[in-house]
Amino acid sequence: MMVYSSNAYAQKIMKLDNELKANSKPMEAKRKGISSVGKYQFGPYRIVSGKAGWTTTTSRKRLFSFETKSESKKKSSFIFVANDKDTVLVNTSTNTKVSETVISDESMLNQSNDNYIAIISPSADTVVWKMIVVFRSGPEVEGNFRAEGILTNGVTNIQIREIKQWEDGKSPVFKVICGYEFLIDNKSIAAVQSSLDTFQKKFVWLNQNLDERMKSVLAAASASLMVHTDDALGALDN
């Protein structure tokens, strides 16, 4: 199943915090070439190489039950470059648990829980950042699609929150997530538009007042969320 827009030509921008919008410029993210990990480029940031590991899946079904539960695990990694000089290594792992109802070889999704972890290691810094985002989808999930997470180095905690509204105030088709914003003490400092609506472009916003190291970390985290969206679309197609 592919998630798509009812109007393929209506390019949209997600709703942004007013202060972030005033203190940043949208950087369109474009994917270059064909690879297992998308080589996204936006502004002075880009993924230069990546490697996706195998996906392992196990499933089980209780006797006399129509419910089937499965669990899959996947790892990947990519090299991210900022300003053509600073290199960041990103290692990711995804653990997905799915509950489906299967009747007469027809399956219907009940709920999918996706735990996504990205370890962000800048070469110019000894500090390692860890991003944990929990994605939930399916008819048993309030709003069909939900996500929340944190980006932390053990000292600074950055909240990650879903955005489910376009700039014009309308909700996306199928209530999918438009993108994510990063917040410190409820103040929005960055955002990434990365939607399951395949007709909408991807963008990244970084508050211009942030120092360059923080911008690089947030940019790498944004790129990681784009890569995860690609994986989620691949899972939907299957």
> Please, which pLDDT band fits residue 99 given cuts at 50, 70 and 90?
confident
**What is the pLDDT averaged over residues 95-105?**
82
The predicted structure's pLDDT at residue 236 = 57
The predicted structure's pLDDT at residue 40 = 96
Q: Reply yes or no on whether the pLDDT at 2 is more than 50.
A: no
Give per-residue burial for 79-112: e unless 16+ CB within 10 Å, then b: bbbbeeebebebebebebebebeeeeeeeebbeb
Q: What is the pLDDT of residues 175-212, one digit of tens each?
A: 899 999 999 999 999 999 998 887 899 999 999 999 99
The predicted structure's pLDDT at residue 9 = 52
Q: What is the pLDDT of residues 41-61, one digit of tens each?
A: 999 999 999 998 777 778 776
Q: Reply yes or no on whether the pLDDT at 129 is more than 90.
A: yes
Q: Residues near 178 by Cβ (< 8 Å), separated by ≥ 6?
A: 12, 14, 15, 163, 164, 165, 166, 172, 193, 195, 197, 200
The predicted structure's pLDDT at residue 168 = 92
> Please, which pLDDT band fits residue 112 given cuts at 50, 70 and 90?
confident
> Please, which pLDDT band fits residue 62 given cuts at 50, 70 and 90?
low
The predicted structure's pLDDT at residue 238 = 53
170 to 16, 41, 135, 167, 178: CA distances (angstroms): 13, 28, 22, 7, 11
> Please, which pLDDT band fits residue 8 given cuts at 50, 70 and 90?
very low
Domain chopping of the chain, boundaries: 18-237
The predicted structure's pLDDT at residue 6 = 44
Q: Reply yes or no on whether the pLDDT at 221 is more than 90.
A: yes
CA 114, CA 207: separation in Å to the nearest integer?
Answer: 29
